[in-house]
């Protein structure tokens, strides 16, 4: 099933953060929130987190693992890794263009 993060609507941002966090190994929900806060400064609320997790799972980009007590870890699938890579490459291109144009036309303090 072909998927891209653009189809997730306003969950695309949180989905990017979740996939990026899962790129270095499986995590459960609260660990995802803490990791995302640490590397991006974004504090995802539980409702938004699980809204994105549900959609990522439906699209086959992540999968759940066996429960550990009350917590259930998630890991990224191979398909999810491909989608994340394509998405981040596109974002990188946009960042490079934006930063280059800023350096030419603007003096930012």
Give the nearer residue to other proteins in terms of CB position, either 58 or 93: 58
Give the nearer residue to other proteins in terms of CB position, either 73 or 81: 73
| Residue with the two structure tokens 């999810």 | 80
Min separation Cβ 24 and other proteins, Å: 20
Please, are residues 61 and 79 in contact by the beta-carbon 8 Å criterion? yes
Q: Report the distance separating Cα 103 and Cα 48, nearest Å.
A: 35
Q: Which residues bind other proteins (CB under 8 A)?
A: 28-30, 33, 43, 45-51, 53-54, 58, 67, 69-72
Give the nearer residue to other proteins in terms of CB position, either 73 or 88: 73
Extract the tokens encoding 20.
């990026």
Taking phi over 0 as left and psi of -120 to 50 as alpha, with beta for the rest, 48 belongs to: alpha
Min separation Cβ 27 and other proteins, Å: 12
Min separation Cβ 36 and other proteins, Å: 13
Please, are residues 5 and 12 in contact by the beta-carbon 8 Å criterion? yes
Min separation Cβ 91 and other proteins, Å: 25
């Amino acid at each position: 099933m072909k998927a891209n993060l653009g189809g997730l609507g306003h969950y695309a941002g949180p989905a990017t953060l979740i996939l990026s966090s899962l790129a270095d190994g499986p995590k459960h929900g609260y660990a995802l929130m803490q990791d995302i806060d640490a590397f991006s400064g974004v504090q995802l609320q539980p409702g938004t987190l699980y809204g994105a997790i549900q959609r990522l799972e439906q699209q086959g980009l992540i999968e759940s693992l066996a429960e550990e007590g009350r917590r259930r870890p998630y890991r990224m699938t191979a398909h999810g890794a491909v989608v994340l890579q394509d998405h981040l490459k596109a974002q990188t291109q946009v960042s490079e263009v934006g930063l280059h144009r800023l350096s030419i036309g603007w003096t930012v303090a």
